């Protein structure tokens, strides 16, 4: 059975995300995007944990963890499909795809600044230089604030529902129509055989003969 024909949306999202790693002019629905993000997070977390455990004897012997390096290379390889699916999600939500590239630029800018801040902070702790400590903390806090602010902004764009209009990136996602509401028909009234009976429960008295009937 082919993966793309699977009825599991989680498996389909992984397949489409990896297959279309270089496709930008398309659309990705909200479930497809978030299932792919979930898969990347789960893979990265589990792979890092396994690599850390496997690298313990190697680090003690040679001071280097080969498994962690392999996981790092795989994580770098997942950047391309992650950016592509983000661009397609922005297309589907009707937002500008340029925000995906801005987010990539912010990530490439913020992490080196945070690294420099930690480097200055550690160096200043050993040298007991308060000025360098404040500079390091300032770099870390500033870069973290920029990353957090833009991350919230991008998150708002990515959680938007799909645009109901067709675009040059593809048709609008087909939604399943809601089933018609079932209305209950009233039950037909059944004749009451006791309707002609007297309210007291006694049989009605026969009509008396009138004078004209004689």
Under a CB-based contact definition with an 8 Å cutoff, are residues 118 and 141 in contact? Answer: no
Q: Identify whether 180 is part of a domain.
A: no
User: Residue 206, SS3?
Assistant: coil
Looking at the 3D structure of the chain, how many domains does it have?
Answer: 1
What residues are paired with 167 via a beta bridge? 170
Residue 210 covered by a domain: no
The answer to whether the CB of 93 falls within 8 A of the CB of 162 is yes
The per-residue pLDDT for 23 is 93
Residue 182, in any domain of the structure? no
Q: pTM score, two decimals?
A: 0.73
* Structure tokens that stand for 179 in this block: 């089933």
Q: Check: CB of residue 171 under 8 Å from CB of residue 92.
A: no
pLDDT means over runs of 10, the chain (214 residues):
64 94 94 96 91 82 78 90 96 94 92 90 76 88 94 95 88 64 60 53 51 48
Dihedral through CA 46, CA 49, CA 51, CA 53, nearest 10?
-140
| Residues 55 and 65: beta-carbon distance below 8 Å | yes
In this structure, is residue 78 part of a structural domain?
Answer: yes
């Amino acid at each position: 059975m082919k993966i793309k024909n699977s009825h599991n949306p989680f498996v389909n999202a992984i397949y489409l995300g990896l297959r279309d790693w270089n496709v930008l002019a398309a659309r990705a629905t909200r479930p497809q995007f978030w299932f792919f993000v979930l898969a990347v997070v789960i893979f990265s977390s589990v792979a890092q944990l396994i690599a850390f455990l496997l690298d313990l004897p190697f680090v003690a012997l040679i001071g280097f963890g080969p498994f962690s390096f392999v996981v790092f290379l795989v994580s770098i390889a997942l950047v391309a499909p992650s950016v592509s699916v983000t661009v397609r999600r922005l297309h589907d939500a009707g937002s500008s795809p340029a925000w995906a590239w801005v987010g990539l630029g912010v990530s490439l800018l913020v992490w080196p600044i945070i690294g420099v801040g930690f480097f200055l902070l550690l160096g200043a702790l050993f040298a007991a230089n308060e000025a360098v400590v404040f500079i390091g903390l300032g770099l870390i806090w500033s870069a973290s604030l920029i990353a957090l602010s833009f991350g919230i902004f991008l998150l708002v764009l990515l959680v938007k529902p799909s645009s109901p209009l067709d675009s040059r990136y593809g048709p609008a996602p087909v939604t399943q129509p809601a089933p018609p509401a079932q209305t209950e028909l009233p039950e037909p009234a059944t004749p009451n055989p006791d309707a002609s009976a007297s309210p007291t429960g006694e049989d009605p008295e026969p009509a008396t003969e009138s004078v004209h009937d004689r």
